[in-house]
Amino acid sequence: MAEQLRLMAVHAHPDDESSKGAATMAKYVAEGVEVLVVTCTGGERGSVLNPKLDRPDVWENIAEIRRAEMDAARAILGVEQAWLGFVDSGLPEGDPLPPLPEGCFGLQDVQVAAGPLVRLMREFRPHVVTTYDEDGGYPHPDHIMCHKISVAAFEAAGDPDRFPDLGDPWQPLKLYYCMGFSKARVVALHEAMLAAGLESPYAEWLEKWEDRGDKGPRVTTRIECADYFPVRDDALRAHATQVDPDGFWFHVPLEVQRKAWPTEDFELVRSMVDSPVPESDLFAGIRETIHAR
């Protein structure tokens, strides 16, 4: 029998896995790929973004609630999930920005904090790892640290001289960054909404796009996963404290999304196999390598 393919997706907080690459994960799970979500923090300092749940009893038990939400989302996506155990840094606001809380994830030494992820990589033995780019997808300190430890662990996991007490070396073969809303994607969704006679939630984004920059040209890999957009949305709604079910993320009907932009997009940043870009499969080059063994 061919070796089972394995995908590890490293995320900063519970709910990130459901908003970044979730349909891709659900697609690969349906195809028999083993998928492990790694959640760096417990999301203890996250906001309650669902107005229906913005209550004192929720705030008092937010850590336990977010774990339960993660359990529900994990079951919906059909993935495995592991916690790294770091403490949420919160998103500092104000001018000047306040310092991060002592002991939080964003203040950890990168090489030390990469250790638990190296251990997981050596235990789970992923062929592919996905994470965020150098600015975290958006500049939250936990997202940026998630990027840093993911890259560090990817580079260390296969080196027998690094972290020798954390298991037998295992070198993942490909590392990807999740690419979210490129300008082309936003324009396509915006125009599709207008063509359908609906109000677009992206008009303000496009008016201010010059302030955002565009990472669209960095996309190397597009995964056709429109059939799994409903699974993605169900998983996202499972994070009930973090997502308003009547809010922005659900304003574009699924049929519009499927026609206008049926893929989730990634940037290939490290590869140990021959896999010319553009790609349509995170395991391109890996399937051939494994089947040749």
Q: In degrees rounded to 5, what are phi and psi of residue 5?
A: -75, 145
Q: How far apart are the C-alpha atoms of 70 and 236, rounded to whole Å?
A: 10
Cβ contacts of 58 within 8 Å, gap of 6 or more:
48, 65, 241
Amino acid at 250: F
Q: Which two tokens stand for residue 192?
A: 């599709």
Which residue, among 176, 178, 202, 196, has the nearest Cα to 254 in the 3D structure? 196
Query: Is 127 marked as a binding-site residue?
Result: no
CB 263 within 8 A of CB 232: no
Which residue, among 94, 40, 49, has the nearest Cα to 70 in the 3D structure? 40
Query: Is 16 marked as a binding-site residue?
Result: yes
CB 169 within 8 A of CB 121: no
Q: Give SS3 for 176.
A: strand
Which residue, among 200, 197, 199, 156, has the nearest Cα to 175 in the 3D structure? 156
List the alpha helices (DSSP H) in the chain: 16-19, 22-30, 56-60, 62-77, 110-124, 141-156, 183-195, 203-207, 229-238, 254-260, 286-291
Query: Is 190 marked as a binding-site residue?
Result: no
Helix/strand number for the chain, H first, E second: 11, 7
H or E element in which residue 174 lies:
strand 174-179
Q: Which residues are annotated as a binding site for Zn(2+)?
A: 13, 16, 143
Q: Which residues are annotated as a binding site?
A: 13, 16, 143
